[in-house]
Chains A and B, each alone.
Chain A
Amino acid sequence: MLTDEERKERIAKRAAEELADGMVVNLGVGIPTLVANYVAGKKVYLQSENGILGVGPYPKAGEEDKDLINAGRKHVTIVPGASFFDSAQSFGQIRGGHIDCTIIGGLQVSETGDLANWLVPGKDVLGVGGAMDLVVGAPKVIIATQHTTREGEAKIVPTCTLPLTAKQAVDMIITEYAVFRFHGGRLILEEITSDFSLADLRSVTTARYEISPELKVRVV
Chain B
Amino acid sequence: MAAIKSAAEAIAGIASGSRIMFGGFGRVGSPETLIAALAEHPADNLTVICNDLGSHNEGLGVLLLQNKIKKAIGSFFTPNPDAAKYYREGKLEIELIPQGNFAEAIRAAGAGLGGFLTPVGVGTELAKGRDVIHFQGREYILQPPLHADYALIRAKVADTLGNLVYSKSGRNFNPIMATAAKCCIAEVDEIVEAGELSPEEIITPFLYVDILVKRGSNDAD
Chain A residues within 8 Å of B, Cβ to Cβ = 48-52, 65-71, 73, 84-88, 90-92, 94-95, 119, 123-133, 136-137, 163-167
Contacts and interface: CB of A to CB of B under 8 A. Distances in A.
Given A126-B83, A129-B98, 4 more contacts: A68-B169, A124-B87, A127-B77, A163-B125
B94 A125 contact: yes
Nearest to A71: B25
A127 B103 contact: no
A129 B77 CA distance: 9
Contacts of A90: 100, 103
B124 A73 contact: no
Contacts of A86: 103, 171-176, 203
26 contacts: A51-B171, A67-B29, A67-B168, A69-B25, A73-B79, A87-B176, A88-B103, A88-B104, A91-B101, A94-B100, A95-B100, A126-B87, A127-B77, A128-B96, A128-B97, A128-B98, A130-B99, A130-B100, A132-B101, A133-B99, A133-B120, A137-B120, A163-B124, A164-B125, A167-B122, A167-B123
A70 B26 CA distance: 10
Interface of B: 25-26, 28-29, 51, 75-79, 83-84, 87-88, 94, 96-101, 103-104, 106-107, 118-126, 166-176, 203
Contacts of A70: 169
B172 A126 contact: no
A132 B121 contact: yes
Which of B25, B169, B171 has the most A CB atoms < 10 Å from its CB?
B169
A199 to B, nearest CB: 34
Given A69-B25, A91-B100, A85 B171 contact: yes
B75 A129 contact: yes
B199 to A, nearest CB: 18
Nearest to A118: B124
Given A95-B118, A124-B84, A164-B124, A130 B98 contact: yes
Given A126-B78, A126-B84, A126-B87, A91 B25 contact: no
